[in-house]
Chains A and B, each alone.
Chain A
Amino acid sequence: MSIKQISENVYSIGVLNPTLRIFDVIMKTDYGTSYNAYLIKNNGKSALVETVHAKFFDEYLENIKSILGDTPPDYLIMNHNEPDHSGSVAKLTEIYPDIIIIESKAGAIYIKNIANKELNIKTVSDNEIFDFGGGELKFIVAPFLHWPDSMFTYFAKDKILFTCDFLGAHFCEPTAFDYNIKKEDYEAEYNGAFVYYYNAIFGPFKPYVLSGLDKIKDIDFETACPSHGPVLTKKDGGNLDCAIKAYAEMSAPHKNEATYIPIFYCTAYGNTGILAENIKTGIKEIIPGADVNIINLNMADSASAQLHLSDAFLIGSPTINRDAVAPVWELINTIDAVSMRDRPCAVFGSYGWSGEGCSNLIARLKGLKLKVSENPLRCQFVPSQDDLDAAIEYGREFAKSL
Chain B
Amino acid sequence: MDKYICTLCGYEYAEEAGLSEEGIEPGTKWEDVPEDFVCPACGAPKDMFVKS
Residues of A within 8 A of B (CB): 104-107, 109-110, 125-126, 141, 143, 148-149
Q: How far is the CA of A148 from the CA of B45 in the complex (A)?
A: 7
Q: Is the CB of A148 within 8 A of B36?
A: no
Kindly supply a per-residue 1/0 record for chain B positions 35-52, scoring 1 wherever the CB is within 8 Å of any chain A CB and 0 otherwise.
010111111110000000
Q: Indicate if the CB atoms of A109 and B43 lie closer than 8 Å.
A: yes
A126 to B, closest residue via Cβ: B36
Question: In residues 14-46 of chain B, which contact A (Cβ within 8 Å)?
Answer: 36, 38-45
Lowest 8 A-B CB distances belong to which pairs?
A106-B43, A148-B43, A105-B38, A143-B45, A125-B36, A109-B43, A106-B38, A148-B44
**Further 10 A-B residue pairs, CB within 8 A, beyond A109-B40, A148-B8:** A104-B38, A104-B43, A106-B39, A106-B42, A106-B44, A109-B42, A126-B36, A143-B44, A143-B45, A148-B43
- Separation in Å of the B1 CB from the closest CB of chain A? 24
Q: In the complex, how many angstroms separate the beta carbon of A69 from the nearest chain B beta carbon?
A: 36
| Shortest Cβ distance from residue A256 to the other chain B in the assembled complex, whole angstroms | 25
Are A110 and B36 in contact, with the CB atoms below 8 A? no
Which A residues are CB-close (under 8 A) to B38?
Answer: 104-106, 109, 148
Could you write out 5 A-B pairs with CB less than 8 Å apart?
A105-B38, A105-B43, A106-B43, A141-B36, A148-B43
Contacts of A106 in B (CB 8 A): 38-39, 42-45
**A107: chain B residues within 8 A (beta carbon):** 43
In the complex, A125 Cα to B46 Cα: how many Å?
13
Contacts of B41 in A (CB 8 A): 109
Minimum Cβ distance to chain B for residue A85 (Å): 16
Q: Which of A125, A126, A141, A148 contacts B42 (CB 8 A)?
A: A148
* Total contacts A-B at CB 8 Å: 30
Chain B residues, Cβ within 8 Å of A109: 38, 40-43
- B interface, by DSSP: helix, strand, loop or mixed? loop
Minimum CB–CB distance from B44 to chain A (whole Å) comes to 5
Give the bracket for the number of chain B residues in contact with chain A: 10 to 19
Q: By CB atoms of chain B within 10 A, which of A141, A148, A149 has the most?
A: A148
The CA-CA distance from A15 to B42 in the complex, in Å, is: 30
Report Cα–Cα, A104/B36, bound state, in Å: 10
A149: chain B residues within 8 A (beta carbon): 43
| Distance in angstroms between the alpha carbons of A294 and B41 in the assembled complex | 43
Complex: how many Å from CA A287 to CA B47? 33
Min CB distance, B7 to chain A, in Å? 9
CB-CB under 8 A from B44, the residues of chain A are 106, 143, 148
Give the distance to chain A from B8, nearest Cβ to Cβ, in Å.
Answer: 7
Q: Which residue of A lies closest to B43 (CB)?
A: A106
Task: With CB as the reference atom, state the residue of chain A lying closest to B41.
Answer: A109
Question: With the chains together, A148 CA to B36 CA distance in Å?
Answer: 12
Residue of A nearest to B44 (CB): A148
CA of A141 to CA of B42, assembled, Å: 16
Report how far A109 CA is from B8 CA in the complex, Å: 15
Given the complex of chains A and B, what is the CA–CA distance between A126 and B37 in angstroms?
11
B43: which A residues are within 8 A, CB to CB?
A: 104-107, 109-110, 148-149
Task: Please report the C-alpha to C-alpha distance between residue A149 and residue B43 in the assembled complex, in whole angstroms.
Answer: 7
B40 contact set on A, CB distance < 8 A: 109
List the B residue with the shortest CB-CB distance to A141. Answer: B36
Alpha-carbon separation in the docked complex, A141 to B46 (Å)? 13
A128 (CB) vs chain B CBs: closest residue: B36
Contacts of A104 on B, CB cut-off 8 Å?
Answer: 38, 43
State how many angstroms separate the Cβ of A161 from the closest Cβ of chain B: 20
Residues of A within 8 A of B42 (CB): 106, 109, 148
Tell me, in angstroms, the Cα distance from A97 to B41 when the chains sit together: 26
Bound CA–CA A105/B29 (angstroms)? 21
* Cα–Cα, bound, A143→B36 (Å): 11
CA distance A106 to B42 in the complex (A): 7
Report B33 CB to chain A, min CB distance, Å: 13
Cα–Cα distance between A126 and B45 once the two chains are bound (Å):
12
Which single residue of chain B is at the shortest CB-CB distance from A110? B43
Most chain A CB neighbours (cut-off 10 Å) among B8, B40, B45: B45
Q: Could you tell me the distance in whole angstroms from the C-beta of A366 to the nearest C-beta in chain B?
A: 15
A148 / chain B contacts, CB cutoff of 8 Å: 8, 38, 42-45
Q: A143-B45, A148-B45, A149-B43 are in contact. Are A105 and B8 (CB under 8 A)?
A: no
